[in-house]
Chain A
């Protein structure tokens, strides 16, 4: 049985990653500065792994997510702002890459909807209350 395990493991090794390339340098290693790492982590949670099924790059095993994590950490370490990294990625991959949809003509209904819902709901609920003045 043992030889089988070893055989399977030999087969398994390449399956860990999509290619046989070693992971990007900062894919799985934190930045030394905890504040910068926290900033990078917060940004990674809001970026979509574009080859995955609805995962952020902060929670994906995919090689591409690792590359993107490395990119985010490298740029944060170099002092770039989160917003400019997001903009750079959006310019490359489109709005799809950001879980935080920017406010634009196409996304305006999305951002206005919560306020509109609250207003409509409050107006509807009004009917259930007694009018104080009349009583």
Chain B
């Protein structure tokens, strides 16, 4: 009964999305006609759009909650539950497992889309009314495609008769607290981008592109960007501790699929600022909104179509692939067509001096877009080549060589940007302000180079990270800290976060030490500053797995106190899988990463030990970036509210 209720909610939500689209279209069309603009029914049609959007979001949410409910109850008469769940799983993974599969994750996607649309309808007050209605119409059009996809080719509520005694279980790699956090965060980011896109479409329809539009759009872009940042950071850490080889980024197509919208959103964030403050880069901002959304659609397509094999691609079904490809073509094609039709009437706006804050922001946009292009081409090239019958791989060496230098140039621009004045500045004055960061960069460069063994890319990374760290706090120098607006703190923190993260990446590449051994019980191994001894192996039993657990006694240096690490090799029966659970000791200056491998049959056990100095900075930096975004968002919202209060009292 619950499953049928969920399906019904989904159908009603889809019908309301259609209604929302029709009402919004009609309203915007009528209000553009002078004869109809002041008609009472035009106002009534426009007034109906918001409530419809709210109810549509509520119904989608209800469907998602019902799906979670049938998963929590392990109702095996629902096909999706039987295929992807098992009654022996802990409750956390039953609930999170609701989106650990193709249909459920698409339902989560459309639910977040619906809820976000409802939020726009309820909360957005600053945008011009017609543009808002057009925005909600665009949002409904996107939702409609995904409802159709769910209902016609990926029904999450399909029944299975007769119901099996128990289900097939969830991929054990996904049975991790990360599953509860990583997909929803990333999806909120993806979908938030779709709202920025709908804003752009709305503004293109009503030809209302200017600072007011940019100020209304900015909080939504910021919000989406914060969640994308968190989602990527969390996903990277999850891969790091779960896969058991100490890697944190693999240039896997699925990772790239999340990186590309982030790059586009970062560029968009900065160009929206130029539009809001200086009324420039109008066409470019619209284009970036279209590109950012296209990238999140492409990401969904790459991951969900089954074109890639990965832990993220749950089901390989060609009809679904062509369905998503059709949606992709319709939305991106439609948006580009609208852009092409309207770009002639949208002036780019003000032009700027080369040496100015605006100039730096344009350079930021340019470099981010080039990196995006490199990642896009590197990701798609093997797929396209395979279509022509050539099998090739594009991985870390290509991205390092092609995107690495551009990224380092971007870091240099990032350091200089906030020190530049708006409108006009002089190169001499900038160089003078940059003395300290440049000096720090030079000193670190020389010190690290003297170590002798550090490769060029991590060497430059470390030096620029140090310079950027100094430069990014510069906007707070000589300022009254209590009167500095919150969004300035946000920018400082976000830029500092990038420096911190970059330093972590460079340290991991340059200084990681590995010890891979077949270890006998009682024999001490050395890795970095640690001595690690295998004390013994014992079996342990978990809720739905059994494992071999090693006890490693670890001592730092000659005098440190002994502590224990317990890496496991876990065996899952549903489905049959072996995973290695790394055991990690986190210290202020890095992590000791230990993994238990196979026995060799002569009483020795494979141990993999890594000492990774300052590797934690990678994710700490990511969290700082997101926190900076959150402060910025709060600052902007408070400023907007103050502005409104002042208007009210005047």
Contacts and interface: CB of A to CB of B under 8 A. Distances in A.
Interface of A: 1, 4-6, 8-9, 11-13, 15-17, 22-23, 28-30, 41, 45-46, 48, 53-56, 58-61, 94-101, 106-107, 109-111, 113-114, 117-118, 121-122, 124-125, 127-130, 132
B352 A117 contact: no
25 contacts: A4-B541, A9-B571, A16-B578, A28-B597, A28-B608, A30-B516, A30-B517, A41-B514, A54-B253, A56-B396, A95-B390, A99-B397, A100-B398, A107-B392, A109-B377, A110-B378, A110-B394, A111-B402, A114-B377, A117-B373, A117-B374, A121-B369, A124-B366, A129-B353, A129-B354
Contact of A114 (B370, B385, B397, B608): B370
A55 B280 CA distance: 44
B245 interface: yes
A56 B251 CA distance: 10
B373 A61 contact: no
B391 A96 contact: yes
Contacts of B244: 61
Given A99-B393, A99-B398, 20 more contacts: A4-B546, A5-B539, A5-B546, A6-B539, A9-B548, A11-B571, A28-B516, A41-B514, A46-B396, A46-B397, A54-B253, A58-B245, A61-B244, A99-B395, A101-B394, A107-B381, A110-B381, A114-B402, A124-B366, A129-B351
B567 interface: no
A43 B310 CA distance: 23
- Scoring B362, B403, B576, B580 by chain A CB atoms within 10 A of each residue's CB, the highest score goes to B362
B273 to A, nearest CB: 14
B250 A127 contact: no
Given A114-B370, A118-B370, A128-B280, A46 B578 contact: no
The interface residues of chain B, by DSSP majority, are classed as mixed
A121 B251 CA distance: 24
Given A46-B396, A129-B351, A15 B514 contact: no
Contacts of B600: 22-23
B457 to A, nearest CB: 12
Nearest to A23: B598
Interface string B275-318: 00000110010000000000000000000000011110000000
A13 B546 CA distance: 12
A8 B359 CA distance: 64
Nearest to B570: A12
A8 B546 contact: yes
Nearest to A97: B393
Contacts of B540: 5
Contact of B394 (A8, A13, A28, A99): A99
A95 B351 contact: no
A12 B172 CA distance: 15
A29 B571 contact: no
Contact of B571 (A12, A28, A99): A12
Nearest to B409: A118
Contacts of A97: 393
Contacts of A100: 395, 397-398
A53 B255 CA distance: 13
A95 B366 contact: no
B247 A59 contact: yes
Contacts of A55: 250
Contact of A101 (B252, B393, B573): B393
Contacts of A128: 280-281, 284, 348, 351-352, 358, 362
Question: In the complex, which range does the number of interface residues on chain B fall in?
Answer: 35 or more
A58 B370 CA distance: 29
Nearest to B280: A128
B393 A1 contact: no
A53 B307 CA distance: 12
Contact of A53 (B310, B571, B598, B601): B310
A95 B516 contact: no
A129 B350 CA distance: 9
A96 B369 contact: no
Nearest to A98: B393
B518 interface: yes
A122 B374 CA distance: 15
Contacts of B366: 118, 121-122, 124-125
Contacts of A4: 541, 546
A74 B516 CA distance: 16
B451 to A, nearest CB: 14
B598 to A, nearest CB: 5
Nearest to B309: A53
Contacts of A106: 385, 390, 392
Contact of B396 (A15, A45, A121, A132): A45
Contacts of A122: 366
B332 interface: no
B391 A48 contact: no
Interface in B526-578: 539-541, 546, 548, 569, 571, 573, 576, 578
Contacts of A127: 348, 351
Contacts of B381: 101, 107, 109-110
Contacts of B518: 28-29
B325 interface: no
B488 interface: no
B37 interface: no
B392 A101 contact: yes
B515 A30 contact: yes
Instruction: Specify which of B358, B548, B608 lies most central, judged by the most chain A CB atoms within 10 Å of its CB.
Output: B548
B168 interface: no
B541 A5 contact: yes
Contacts of B608: 28
B391 A94 contact: yes
B373 A54 contact: no
A54 B310 contact: yes
B243 interface: yes
